[in-house]
Structure 1
């Protein structure tokens, strides 16, 4: 019997855990965002498949290239932003065009220095407040589900609470499993069929470009992904002693976003929270071999992507509010972090609060969604009210 290389076991298992936690914790948010932007069930399933395959390939390429545990993910805050934005002028094709432009902006950020500096100049409090406002309706979904369908939603919330107490990392995946069980029982009880293909498939959408989509989706999607995913992702890697290869990462995520956009993918980026699972001590004591965890995660994501069709079909047949409740539970941590960051500095609190209420209020003008107006309002207040007057 050949002996097992124990130096490989830890990073391989860490990579599997990274992918399982990352995928199951937020795919419901992704599907909700794509549907809100106008995607059909087939197009939403295609988007889930395309983005997962794209960033899985990106992980493997970057890990093998740089020999560091660099992991990628879809933009969960970006998907939440789509929920708040809704359908823009031009419908789903225009949203796809905005996704493509977002990918081009990622690529440009890696090569055009002033673009990265411009993003860095956006006050963190305003950007985080915009994100918190976008997330608010989603994090309220579990409460609304308990009020509307208590017999279905309460078991999911209770499972989440129990697992948060004992194994926080697995709380959302456990809530998802509970929700799928509840959905199966309810569909059996009511005799509701699951429509749509259970097999993974890609659906092409020819991109269209409208001013409302570019301003209302591409720009906020770029800002929120950079501020809440890419920048924290760099910080997480640095905390474990790894320097993120900025230019190659922006190139891979940008090109991946562009290539996958016509199939429904909205944005891919550096992983933030799940990045610690592949870069930390759980990936083994040998730091020089933790890149294996990233490769393992990439391979596992490819396997998980094959469930895209089934997950989209089952969640589409779910009782109203149940899937949204799981998405809301998944976003509670991101919402809390965004609120804390937005209000941390008393000197910029007014602009942050203004950005938050505009985003949470769902303001839409000229076909442009609330995220853009929240960012603009916060910046105006920052300049007009909070910037010190020079004598």
Structure 2
């Protein structure tokens, strides 16, 4: 009996450690994107820190509840592609209050997708090439930031990129967290050189709520694209990742919990909570131990780790505010390169052997990407919405032409 104790400890410690690693990698590799996105749509540094705190705590609690209830490794995350979308959108009519109103609407749409399967089916019917092209267009400007920063502030930015490159070869999982550590060193050196100081109170986590306001521009320019990106690139992908490890995600409960969490966190600045996608493999895969029935423990420990990490939100927001120009943008851009590569691959994927059809699909996808990347605002509505609309219309029109040509040849 005594011989079984080490094995029992090992069977518990393995998923616990895997869950902590999952949270550390997820948090450190993308929190800069979240802060950048929230600041872009009008949040002050304090409000951006509040948003990071809100989604960290809510996704942590939600993951613990879902994992314990269903005994499967359901890990949650914030919408990183959604934060990138916010960064590209910029300030909206109505300011920060309107942006939080869009977050509320996004959460309500997620709840609706849990209550009515038709809404989720509708999202899944959006051609993958168009959805991925919109995402690629949203990500592209942020991924170009490291290039711009090197040209302007090479001595601040190059150390961050070099650390990222080395770790990408040695341990790709830790490449972006390592880049953040390098950025922190650069920031600390700059603060010491300039003698910049800050108060201890600015390091304490604080909730800075606002009364959300909903505007048509924010609904179409932020809420709808944020919902589509979150569903297509996070929730639907997260289900597929879980399925690959033999787990069936309880769709309705997860959508209700994450949607409600998004609505609750919106007034405090949280933009969207969803199923983890890429990082889900750390908790649901072999890293969490050989016993698949006990990997849910990894999701619980991941949720608990997010509760602790969320307490650093104000300190991180303050640190980011004091960073030399281009440093934080470089970390965010490096963090999104993998997502950009995946989105480009999906946007330009071959859909069949028919050359005419492939040409039509590619043209519509490239058009979608270009419009999304342009950042152009028309009628107060951001480019992501117009990219999706124009891409769908172009695809319909071009494929209609292909069908007509086929009919004429028979």
Residue in structure 2 matched with residue 161 of structure 1 by the alignment? 165
Instruction: After superposition, give the CA deviation of every residue in 1:313-353 in whole Å (9 maximum; x if it has no partner).
Output: 00001011110000000000000000010001335111100
Query: Is contact 1:128–1:341 with CA below 8 Å preserved after alignment?
Result: yes
Determine whether 1:102 maps to 2:124.
Answer: no
Residues 28 and 326, structure 1, Cα contact 8 Å, conserved in 2: yes
Deviation at 1:187, TM superposition (A): 1.1
Asked if structure 2 preserves the Cα contact closer than 8 Å seen for 1:194 and 1:314, the reply is no
Structure 2 counterpart of 1:145, from 138, 145, 149: 149
**What residue in structure 1 maps to residue 403 of structure 2?**
389
2:381 to 368, 383, 391: 368
TM-score normalised over the length of structure 2: 0.94
Match of 1:11 in 2: 15
Counterpart in 2 of 1:178?
182
Pairing 1:312–2:325 present? no
CA distance in 1, matches of 2:89, 2:36: 12
Residue 72 of structure 1 aligns with which residue? 76
The aligned counterpart of 1:377 is 390
| Aligned-residue offset at 1:360 | 0.8
Rounded Cα–Cα distance in structure 2 between residues aligned with 1:112 and 1:89: 31
Larger radius of gyration: 2
Normalised by the size of structure 1, how large is the TM-score?
0.98
Structure 1 position 23 matched with structure 2 position 15: no
Residue among 285, 309, 313 paired with 2:290: 285
Where does residue 194 of structure 2 map in the other structure?
Answer: 190
Match of 2:263 in 1: 258
Aligned mates of 2:51, 2:67 — CA distance in 1: 24
Q: 2:274 aligns to what SS in structure 1?
A: strand
Structure 2 residues not aligned, in runs of 5+: 351-357
CA distance in 2, matches of 1:222, 1:153: 33
Whole-angstrom CA distance in 1 between matches of 2:34 and 2:90 = 13
Stretches of 4+ aligned residues off by more than 6 angstroms: none
Q: Which moved more, 1:136-145 or 1:170-179?
A: 136-145
Q: Aligned-pair distance for 1:229?
A: 0.6
CA RMSD of superposed structures (Å): 1.3
Superposition deviation, residue 117 in structure 1: 1.6
Confirm whether residue 358 of structure 1 aligns to residue 371 of structure 2.
Answer: yes
**Is 1:35 the counterpart of 2:49 in the alignment?**
no
Contact 1:219/1:372, CA 8 A, preserved across alignment: yes
**Cα offset, 1:194, TM superposition:** 3.5
C-alpha distance after superposition, 1:129-172 (max 9, x if no partner): 01101111100111111111111100000000000001000000
* Superposition deviation, residue 191 in structure 1: 1.6
CA distance in 1, matches of 2:348, 2:221: 25
1:272, 1:225 → 2: CA distance? 11
Shift of 1:118: 1.2
Query: For 2:237, which of 207, 232, 235 is the aligned residue?
Result: 232
Q: Distance in 1 between matches of 2:10 and 2:125?
A: 46
Structure 2 residue aligned with 1:272, among 273, 277, 291?
277
Q: Return 5+ residue gaps in structure 1 as ranges.
A: none
Partner of 1:349: 362
SS at match of 2:29: helix
Counterpart secondary structure, 1:389: helix
**C-alpha contact (below 8 Å) 1:106/1:222 kept by paired residues:** yes
Size of the alignment, in residue pairs?
Answer: 391
